[in-house]
Amino acid sequence: MTAEVSRLPRKKVLFVLVVFFVATGLVVFTMSDQNSHVHFMISAITDNVKVLHAQLLAFGRDDPYNIKPLSFQPLFLTRDYKTDVRQPVTTRRQDQDTTTFSQSTHKPVKPTTPAVNRQTRKSETKSKKSQPRLFRPKRPVLPPKHLFQQTNRTLPVTRLILMSTWNETGEKTLVHGNVLRTWKLWQPTVIPLLFSNDSALTSRALANDWQVLPLLSVTCGEMPIMRDMYLQAMAKQDSVFYGFANSDILLSEGVRRTVSVISELELSHTRPVMLLISRTNVNFSAGPYLDDVSRMNDFIKKGWPLKDGSSDVFITNRLFPWKNVPDVVIGRLGIGMWIVSYARTMNVTVIDISKTTSAIHMTTKAGNYESHWKPNSKCNHRIYEKLAIKPPSWRCGFIGCAAMETNYGRQNGKIRVTGRNWFRYDPRCLQCPMNLTSIGV
């Protein structure tokens, strides 16, 4: 480059240097002008952002803001860039903006609103808070936590008297035999009890180490009254719980362990309690013959759970209000769901123990709904209608309406009693008021 410059004439070199310095000066002057232009553009954008922020703060409020359409500062103006005549934000738009800004902190200052509007907003806020959330159903009332602690009372050896009754038929001889042979496996914790006036059936039950009591009160076609069976059993032998199950229900060994755990809680001795078990229907038309319950899991895999939410097993403690129950009978329509609805109305602690106790309905040719075609199948319903004690919906007696359930602990695997997951709790279970004045409640 140096060699090439030295070859040029001196006049041309001077001309090139002059042109270079002039061009450099023009570029510097132009850049300073552009810098002021860029500075103005940045300031205009900042103003526009502030105005938009003020409008967004005012949007959606309950106060009567006088919001005007957005007016943005233009980015390109024909003005003299040498003198910036723009005014500060706080004074330039005080008469237009609904929210003003501080020069030092740039924080929004809320405009003053009348006291009436503030009171209105507070009342509306309280009304919104008082309304229940649709996605969060109301939680059912649970007993105090201290009632789930282990009791210091001296408990009887027998924790459950498990009752049933039936008439012998050729179709269910094998099924009833399975019940006689398996219910006796958990003595003395669980004592099986048969109500019968049949001498042959009584001898068969005694041979399988069952206790037997005569039927003293029947109605509706010689059907046993449910209330009197419980009262008679409580007068006969001391126990923590007394339960009834249909004569074709096969129970797992979990019934002994679950009842033993719950009977050791203070809850079982201070408040009325009801335990329910959901059943699984399994075809037993061709057997098999059983003398133990080791194959329960295999049967459950082949069966299908009952979908209507009813229970065939009802276990209660001594504090359950059986004396107010009318003359409803077992083996007919409406007994299960009504007794659960009655229990919930009477503030009984209803516990679903299906997760720790399995129940199989050994289905024969009679099917799963025998009570529907039996004589006087609706005699219980006639009692409910006469006394005006029918629940608002039969869903109120579903097992899913139980506020508590049993499950196994994740760490130690022990049986525990917990509140049902209230996100899954059906809110319709809370709409079950019953007027029980006609039965002395």
Q: Greater confidence, 200 or 85?
A: 200
Give the integer Cα–Cα distance in Å for 282 and 299. Answer: 7
Same domain, 98 and 237: no
Give the integer Cα–Cα distance in Å for 183 and 205. Answer: 11
78 Cβ contact list (under 8 Å, min separation 6): none
Same domain, 187 and 268: yes
Give the integer Cα–Cα distance in Å for 425 and 70. Answer: 49
Same domain, 316 and 412: yes
Same domain, 152 and 25: no
Same domain, 46 and 156: no
Give the per-residue pLDDT at 297: 93
Q: Is residue 397 part of a domain?
A: yes
Q: Among 147-156, 177-186, 365-374, 414-423, which stretch is predicted with the lowest mean pLDDT?
A: 365-374
Q: Greater confidence, 216 or 60?
A: 216
Whether pLDDT at 280 is above 60: yes
Give the per-residue pLDDT at 72: 45
Same domain, 240 and 150: yes
Same domain, 90 and 171: no
Please write the tens of the pLDDT for every residue from 129-145: 555 544 455 678 899 99
Whether pLDDT at 126 is above 90: no
Q: Is residue 115 part of a domain?
A: no
Pick the last residue of a domain from 93, 109, 125: 109
Q: Greater confidence, 347 or 368?
A: 347
Same domain, 408 and 305: yes
Q: Is residue 130 part of a domain?
A: no
3-state secondary structure of 45: helix
Q: Cβ–Cβ contacts within 10 Å for residue 295, how many?
A: 12
Q: Greater confidence, 332 or 376?
A: 332
Range of the domain at 422: 145-439
Q: Is residue 117 part of a domain?
A: no
Beta-sheet pairing, 218-219 with 279-283: unpaired
Using only the alpha carbons of the chain, give its radius of gyration.
41
Q: Phi, psi at residue 271, to the nearest 5°?
A: -140, 155
pLDDT band at 426 (very low <50, low <70, confident <90, very high): confident
Q: Mean pLDDT for the chain?
A: 80
Work out how many domains the chain is built from and give that number. Answer: 2
Please write the tens of the pLDDT for every residue from 11-39: 666 676 767 766 776 655 555 444 455 55
Q: Is residue 139 part of a domain?
A: no
Q: Phi, psi at residue 108, to the nearest 5°?
A: -70, 140
Same domain, 365 and 261: yes
Q: Is residue 273 part of a domain?
A: yes
Best CA proximity match to 399, nearest among 429, 365, 419, 433: 429
Same domain, 431 and 354: yes
Q: Greater confidence, 413 or 125?
A: 413
Highest mean pLDDT among 53-57, 251-255, 393-397, 407-411: 251-255
Same domain, 390 and 302: yes
341: domain CATH number is: 3.90.550
Best CA proximity match to 183, nearest among 250, 258, 270: 250
pTM of the model: 0.69
Same domain, 93 and 200: no
Question: Percentage of the chain with pLDDT > 70?
Answer: 67
